[in-house]
Structure 1
Amino acid sequence: MRLTTGLHGYVVLRFSGGLEIRLHNLICAVILMMVAVVGGVALLTTGSTDSTFSDLVGLFDGDAVSGDVAFAIADVRLPRILMGFMAGWCVALTGAMLQSLAQNPLADPGQLGLSQGSLVVIMLVLVLFPGLPLIFTPLAGFAGGLAVAVLLMVLVGRHHSGGLGILLMGIAVETTLSSVTSILILYAPPEQSHAISSWLAGSLFHSDWSAVGSFATWFVISIPAILVIGRKLRSLDLGDHMALALGEAVHITKPAILIVAVLLTAAATAAVGPLVFLGVMAPHLAGFISPAKGRARLFLAAMTGGVLVVAADGLTRLGSDQVALPTGLAIMMIGAPIFIISLRLRTISQARTG
């Protein structure tokens, strides 16, 4: 392992097996991990139940801690933080995958209709079969997202799967499904309509250890997916023709990546509801902080998504206890201004260098 300068001019950490990691990507990844850990620890002591860092240390050391404080930290806050990070990770990772897959920087699960497909089927299950075990909810979401993915591939066609075509078709499908969602909310029983509306805004309020355990499987699956898909995307980022010239089986790779994206999207949507715009925002923010390709790009985008959701969860605790701010809205309040500033700074930088 040694430091050297790559052909692109960046300082890289080169391993004996040939693997190269850009030094600024590695530093950015470490900083994001530290922010996630420090922010998560800070949020463990933040909430309506008064607690201190000493209570947190005492709880994990086995010391005597008030029952209310122990319950708030171990059974309410910690599951929410873990669920928020994992859901944000998966949504942002999916957005980064789809942007490379569609060759369009605006592609994400929401824009392509995958989230809406999962939402519609999950809502139908909740309305028509309210007594169905919750274990079937992610399966229903996967079925809806997969149906939309297949529909997009059929409508666009395998020979015209470029960025603009699939994005426009995805927007059309998403708009149609949004109208179905509105109809279901309008005509559902009042109790179900209120619960669905809250869930549609994105929420971590119902996160518990059972939900975390169920979702952890998808989070673990996403890690090897980064290693495998990241390498494929380096070829796909060059365009279909160049990828074919490099020996990539595009007709197999693209559907496989799309299925992984649907799985992660459906799982996240079923767990916390749609996290609107996160799939677009997080990869661009990660790219602004530390430009990367392939696996590094996917990992940094996923980390950024997780950190944004954890930060948004902290914002929801600053308001009144009587008014619960949905996590999805909090993400927009935190991420959108940062996103706008980053785009503006990037535009200024490009104008100066141009």
Structure 2
Amino acid sequence: MKHLALVTAGMLAATSGAYAGGVERSAQSVAILFEQGRYVELSFGHFSPDVSGTVGGGAVSSGNMAPSYNSWSLGYKMDIGEALDFAMIIDEPIGADVAYPGALGLGSYPLAGSTADLRSSAVTGILRYKFENNVSVIGGLRYETVKGDVALSSGYRMSTNYDSEIGYLVGIAWEKPEIAARVALTYNSAITHNLESLEQGVVPGTFETEVPQSLNLEFQTGIAKDTLLFGSVRWVDWSAFVIDPPNYPLPIPLVSYPEDRITYNLGIGRRFNETWSGAVTLGYEPSDGQITGNLGPTDGFKSIGLAATYTMDNLKITGGVRYVDIGDATTNVVGGSFTDNSGVGVGIRIGYTF
């Protein structure tokens, strides 16, 4: 069961949190806290989406406006005595890559040539205190940095500085090691960034953007010999995430989301022998049917993923692949219809216990 636990923790992270609600790039898992002893892990992911839409009843296509992107994370966990654990995680909590192909002209898609880029990084320190009844409490701080750049075909330009702010997380967990059972509930606070903007290259300004609060439920349990059921339910307050620079010319924000999001993941892991184990996962995020922004023309998703872990002494290597059926959406402003879109994510996680 110890080998299986790594598959459950590494599966979704290795293939990234792509297209889970809003601009999410990290599911903010605390699974690393439950590794044994001193442990370090490094993850790399690559996601290739194919997202395109049309206007004019299908007469004009946008082309693929969602470029491929890479993600990574680094984690370290250590024991501090018998009852206290510490973990540090470096990751990219949010991100966006938008590039409508071509150039604006007669007969082109109305957003042709528009680009947007959102970057972030976060360092999270977490403590876990274990009680004798298999219950533990979790708490920590997150130091988060964000930056954004936008260039629209209409001529509007905006860029921000790098802004860093601090948030917190708290949680509780319960374990029953003899059947590999665990439930962890974690709350992540909102982090409000006060960004300095430069619009049209010359007009300075300031505005606030809130990276939203979230609630994460992670669980796993043994259901048969060498077989584990695992999953997660994640709620994010995406309706609080708004990018609205002071001189943006339209009456609606540059970026906003009408509804919060709940994302579900469920999987089964199986240990084949002392060296190999594998897992299959299903993911689902319901669509809300609301009009979306042109810089994020998706609405929910369904996904399936496969992963395998190779174990050799203290080294564990997990590789995974994930197919995502991206939900259809209708955009505001130009009324684009985005349908039949998808993406494929691949990733690898290397973990070492010492």
Same fold (TM over 0.5): no
Task: Quickly name the TM-score band, shorter chain normalised.
Answer: under 0.3
Name the structure where helix makes up a greater proportion of residues: 1
Q: TM-score scaled to structure 1, two decimals?
A: 0.25
Q: TM-score scaled to structure 2, two decimals?
A: 0.25
Q: Which has the higher contact order (CA 8 A, sep 6+)?
A: 1
Name the structure where strand makes up a greater proportion of residues: 2
